[in-house]
Amino acid sequence: MRNNTDQFEQDNFRAHGRVEMSLSGKTIHVNARGPFNEELTTALATLEAEFLTNAASQGPFNEIVVFHESVLASPEVLAAHAQLLVMLKGAGLAHTATAYVIPDDLEGAAFTGPLAAKNYAAVEWPFKIFQHLEDAEIWINAQSKV
């Protein structure tokens, strides 16, 4: 099973950014390295659909996304992200909850974090941003018990 966006070929422009997924118990762990462009969101949509379809019988899942280097994304990327969430929810593949780990000093944090939060709120998907992985894990574990 493919587990990262490097494995998807693009016809036009090369994907900027990288996303890698793994499953541990009922939590999908994602490492994301930005900045991100639209080609990356295309690869991510395919990766996430394949990943969740292959693991669907084990779900539902929580998700923790840890961002590295940059979380900068254009408005077009964030619009594509919103569409991805709608698609996942409509296909019954929405996560129980998603936590982002975005340190305040990460490039794009002030811009991307709040817009991502709006995307999740629009589809009523429990979501929260944290500074540290440990805090995200505590919150995710608490969501599993709700």
pLDDT tens-digit map of 25-49: 889 999 999 898 877 777 777 777 7
**pTM here?**
0.86
Q: 18-24 and 97-101: which strand pairing?
A: unpaired
pLDDT tens-digit map of 85-123: 998 899 888 889 999 999 999 999 999 999 999 999 999
Tally Cβ neighbours within 10 Å of residue 125: 18
Sign of the C-alpha dihedral computed for residues 98, 93, 31 and 108 taken in this order: negative
Mean pLDDT, rounded, of the chain: 85
Tally Cβ neighbours within 10 Å of residue 10: 14
